[in-house]
Amino acid sequence: MLHAPFTRRLAAASAALALALTGGAAASPAVADPRAVEKTHTAVGTGGAVSTVDPEASAAALEVLRKGGNAVDAAVAAAATLGVTEPYSAGIGGGGYFVYYDAATESVHTIDGRETAPAGADFQTFMNPATGKPYLFGELVTSGVSVGVPGTPATWERALENWGTLSLGEALRPAIKVADRGFVVDETFRKQTDDNRARFANFTSTSELFLPGGALPTVGSIFKNHDLAETYRLLARQGTEDGFYAGPLAEEIAATVQAPPTVPTPTLPVPAGTMTTADLAGYEALDQDPTHVEYRGYDVYGMAPSSSGGTTVGEALNILETFDLAGMAPADALHHYLQSSGLAFADRGKYVGDPAFVGVPTKALTDPVFGKERACLINPDTAAQTPFAPGDVASYDGVCPAAPAALADEQDTENLSTTNLTVADQWGNVVEYTLTIEQTGGSGIVVPGRGFILNNELTDFTTTSFDTADPNRIEPGKRPRSSMSPTILLNEDGTPFLALGSPGGSTIITTVLQTIVNRVDLGMTTPAALAAPRASNRNFANSIGRAFVTAEPGFIDEFGDDLAPYEYLLVKSGDAFTSAAEIGAETAIEFLPDGRMLAAAEPVRRGGGSALVLTPSP
């Protein structure tokens, strides 16, 4: 049960909502079912903490913690609830990366739950048979072609088996309740539905669920998803192996991919995919070692490939380790941050892919000697005018080399949606978990009668070039490269200091990196570090080859003049690569020296998040 002050706030909010929805006839307090609607962006206390983008998900995690569940139990409960309330960003039709700190052993473990390409997928997958040319990206995002084999259900079950105390069915109970009784529609949910209206209208199953009668959901109304509740009950009874990756549901998923349920006269081409029940039966969530670097006395752990998050954040931190950012003026420190990111992204594009298919030089990319050598390319007085070339991972010694010819990284097609959650329990265990269905609204295809959207993650592969040397080219069974960067920092004594992660496509990497710099080097509090305006250098070039940095309007307003002497080309978010005016939407927990936990959520971006602690304190 939720602690009393929080429950009272929720009850009050629910009563007010009921009053609004019934024109003044509020539900009886004896039968009222309070819904979590209030968002608190910072909370400090003991006994456990959670931060997500959604108050229902945070409340679900807190309920599990209060009943004695651990961080893993609570993380799965929160993630499943996000599948209800954030269906356009996450759910069982997608995948993600799960990072776990075990307090008993002071060790970090990870699960790679990334989607995989079906066995029938190869470079021809992205070719339009009618034209003999690659599909346009806009044609791929709403299609069966783009759907990868989902990894989220297997990730939940694997995490609970490895470290949890609850069964999958027990962990799903809060989400089932929310799906059945419904959640309060907010501005973000309505806008995301509106943004996807044209895509969703092409599918009978999607429009019936999210656009009944062709109408958008009304802000303040209650949205219920009984189909998803029943799907969760199926997983609770049968487990994921029999209930999702085999049996009737697997057959329905494969049939939906192979023959998307379009309306009689769709406005989009919606090419069909090749996924089969054998592809689903063969899926496995992978236990793997985290990446590790040391930074300013902290041990920084992240996701190893198939995610590029751990290697790219780690390499950038190794580059920055060679500079005294704390002793610099803010603009100078930001200059070094931006340049380190560009260098690390150059190596990401050259070397990182699925390690089952590509020889990823993870050890070299996270080697401080390699970082020291890459740091030589940062000019303290000016920004690089063209994208950085990748480094030589086969030959490095930390000595500054002659500058190589520039080579631009490919402009990423990885989308901005996704969601992230952070949980800690009373025993000091910590979970940092990033999960996604790729684009906001995924493929746009709801499995009929099942209540969830299928991902379009295969668009994270290189879709317009089929160079066999490309580490991110599509191959059967391969996991597309990701930028998800769930990260945990430990103190020198092995105890946790900070856990953080974010949505945001390839800007996830720079969001996590900038926040670490803000907190560790620039001395900001964790809430301030999350709220600070952001800029992202992913080593991209404009049409004439000039390197540019994508920046939030607030960053340009605050730092544009100070960075002008470095000759940066600052491009406002929304005008170039990014499709939104915001970069990221983080969640984090900091572990204070006095034993309390500080949960922090995004205060503004994407409508703000929800941070809660089990026992609040001043």
Q: Could you give the residue numbers annotated as active site?
A: 418
Tell how far CA 5 is from the center of its chain. Answer: 31
* Euclidean distance between CA atoms 335 and 317, whole angstroms: 14
Helix (H) or strand (E) holding 427: none
User: Amino acid identity of 151?
Assistant: G
3-state secondary structure of 479: coil
| Number of residues written out for the chain | 618
Dihedral of alpha carbons 480, 586, 437, 581, sign: negative
Do the beta carbons of residue 277 and residue 120 sit within 8 Å? no
DSSP annotation string for 416-467: S--EEEEEEETTS-EEEEEEE-SSTTTTS-BPTTT--BPP-GGGGS-SS---
Q: Which residue has the tokens 């499995």?
A: 447
* Euclidean distance between CA atoms 110 and 432, whole angstroms: 10
Do the beta carbons of residue 156 and residue 95 sit within 8 Å? no
Angle at CA 288, nearest 5°, toward 284 and 291? 140
* Euclidean distance between CA atoms 343 and 351, whole angstroms: 13
End-to-end CA distance of the chain: 22
User: Amino acid identity of 128?
Assistant: N
Q: Which of 516, 480, 481 is nearest to 348 (CA)?
A: 481
Q: Which residue has the tokens 């599990």?
A: 64
3-state secondary structure of 184: strand
Distances (CA, A) of 115 to 77, 84, 249: 21, 20, 17
* Euclidean distance between CA atoms 138 and 150, whole angstroms: 21
Q: Which of 244, 74, 239, 230 is nearest to 165 (CA)?
A: 74
Tokens of 390: 């990748």
* Euclidean distance between CA atoms 186 and 202, whole angstroms: 24
User: Amino acid identity of 420?
Assistant: N
Report the b/e string of 506-518 with b at 16+ CB within 10 A.
bbbbbbbbbbbbb
User: Amino acid identity of 451?
Assistant: G
Distances (CA, A) of 100 to 110, 422, 434: 6, 10, 12
Tell how far CA 461 is from the center of its chain. Answer: 17
* Euclidean distance between CA atoms 558 and 508, whole angstroms: 21
Do the beta carbons of residue 48 and residue 65 sit within 8 Å? yes
Angle at CA 442, nearest 5°, toward 439 and 445? 155
DSSP annotation string for 411-426: PP---S--EEEEEEET
3-state secondary structure of 42: strand
Dihedral of alpha carbons 151, 157, 161, 165, sign: positive
Mention every residue, 6+ apart, whose C-beta is less than 8 A from residue 129. none
